[in-house]
Amino acid sequence: MKESDARLGRSESPIGGRFYWLVGGIFTVFAIFALRLFQLQIVEGSDLRARSQRNSVRTLRLEAARGEIMDREGRVLATTRPAYDVAVIPNEVHGRDVTYVALAQLLEKPRAEVDERVAGWRGRERFQPQVVAADLSEEFLARVESHRFALPGVVTAVRPLREYPLAEVTAHVLGSIGEVNAQELTQPEFAAYAAGETIGKSGLEAVLEADLRGRAGGRNVVVDVAGREVDVIDEVEPRRGRTLVLTLDLDLQRAAAEAFAAQKQAENEVVAGALVALDPRTGDVLALASFPSYDPNLFAGGIQPDAWRTLVEDPERPLQNRALMGQYPPGSTYKALVAAAALQEAVITPEARLFCPGSYTLGRRTYRCWKKEGHGSIDLHQALVQSCDVYFYQLGMKLGIDRLALYARGFGLGRLSGIDLEPERPGLVPTSRWKLRRHGEPWQKGETVSASIGQGYNLLTPLQLAVAYAAIANGGHRVVPRLVERVEELDGRAARTLRPAEGGTVPVAPAHLERVARALGGVVQEPHGTGWRARVSGVAVAGKTGTAQVVRLERTADMNEDEIPRRYRDHAWFAAFAPLAAPEIVVVALVEHGGHGGSAAAPIVQRVLMRYFEKRARAVAEDADPRSGERG
């Protein structure tokens, strides 16, 4: 028994020893933890507490740059540049009175303006940077940076700022941007946006917002008491928006702006109007301009109230895109469509002659021709060349208002064109049914007389007239204007290409359209043509003048044009395409209250056509020169 106990005692001795060592180890570890805790909380507590108060983690939003917009040759129309802002984080400001006074002095702003920008912040806003001064110059940025260590809660930040290098030249095409407002944030399409974000407000900036908008990033940083970054914890890089490549030709856009500017200088007053240039083969928009224009850079950083008030109260309406939204009587440019309809309906033959004594009488009313002595016996070709009113009065009466309307709509009038730009207005093509419904009165024959030369209730936009003349130029195909050629990813790959859309055909045989086109060639090329100011050396240009009355003729009949107040003068039109044998470009110009189309609008069209064919001649010469490929 003793022997077994002894064996048992010897077997338990190692286990007992290890147990004591385990207990001792545990107490030792706890003792180390206790000593370290004592060191951190008691010995170094005050120092660590001060350090924790001096440093904090700040989450910064990194705004994404919007995608660039380029013309058909890759020239930048809209881009992004860095802008430096000064902001205040209210919760981190110590001694607000001193800080705000110093900040106002550094920025050379009234103290009241700084107070206004920092007043009323509540809740989460107290912890967020709130911009006090945006897009600082290098001088003011350096001032703030050099004093920032003494201004806790004052920070500087860089953000992408939209920039439009051509400013007024492309304003109505590109549009403008602005901060998303409270009402927009309640709408489903803006569910992914946050307050303070920038969105497209008009033009392509708005229409293609989903492509142009980038993806914001963020950065978590450790900052000290002076607001200096001491460490970056993590970061998500922002992603720039996609690139838009337009069908627009910047050279033609500039030519339009130069032409309107030259006329403004010559007349020494504001010249309002619009110009549209299309490729009649595809519908590509080569130029689209409206004047007077505005500088979209004013909106990029948030437009000032005074600047906004000036724009919206300007009686010349610079914010309106007249090319798409201006609705005007077409005047004599409408005669080409009347001629096409008359040929198609066989109410006249090309050789048939009608007599113009200088006026046309219907009942007790007399309608005059612009040429008081009349044109005499005249056929269709010469009626278009010389723009004889009486000839088209008679054609209009033969067709009637409802047949006129049918063909006008067939050419694209009275409807939206389908261009990838907003907003657009449809114009008006009157019918007997429309008048009865709108005014409660039957249509009168005298109203058909006025409608046949593009007066009366007829209204259209410059873009619609360009589409109609493109159909004459290309033999009957109604194009859909295309402004965006493709959307590119960041690496240059095409995200999607916007193919020309099909617009259908006009209800006129190609042979009749060809005859009308030849007559329009005579308007510019022949001796008695009213559009001779649109001639381009070496190029056969076809076109039509238009003079649309603003007030009744009797009020201004006995006055010289210079004596008529500008607001009562006629609108001036010119629509053209070239070259006549195989048209490549259609150009339509409108000058509000410009007077005669041949003198006011035709020279503007000529300038754009000249620029186009100069470029084409250079391209042909370079292709023919074997050394051209060696040039840089």
**Residues marked as catalytic:** 332
Report helix angle 96-107 to 111-118, nearest 10.
Answer: 120
Tokens of 585: 């470009």
Rounded Cα distance between 606 and 216, Å, is: 46
Tokens of 394: 């008679």
Place of tokens 């981190």: 92
Residues 605, 534: contact at Cβ < 8 Å?
yes
Rounded Cα distance between 609 and 541, Å, is: 9
Longest C-alpha distance within the chain, in Å? Answer: 154
Residues 155, 89: contact at Cβ < 8 Å?
yes
Q: Which helix (H) or strand (E) holds 71?
A: none
Interior CA angle at 539 toward 536 and 544, to 5°?
A: 65
CB-based contacts of 555, cutoff 8 Å, min separation 6: 568
User: Which of 231, 226, 229, 83 minimizes the C-alpha distance to 163?
Assistant: 83
Q: What DSSP line would sit under 523-553, residue for residue?
A: HHHSTT-TTGGG-BTTB--EEEEEEE-SS-G
Residues 436, 442: contact at Cβ < 8 Å?
yes
Instruction: Provide long-range contacts, Cβ within 8 A and 24+ apart, for 345-350.
Output: 345/399, 345/403, 347/395, 347/398, 347/399, 348/380, 348/395, 348/398, 350/379, 350/380, 350/381, 350/515
Rounded Cα distance between 258 and 293, Å, is: 13
Rounded Cα distance between 618 and 612, Å, is: 10
Rounded Cα distance between 386 and 381, Å, is: 9
Rounded Cα distance between 198 and 383, Å, is: 55
Rounded Cα distance between 160 and 134, Å, is: 11
Find how far residue 582's CA is from the centre of its chain: 31
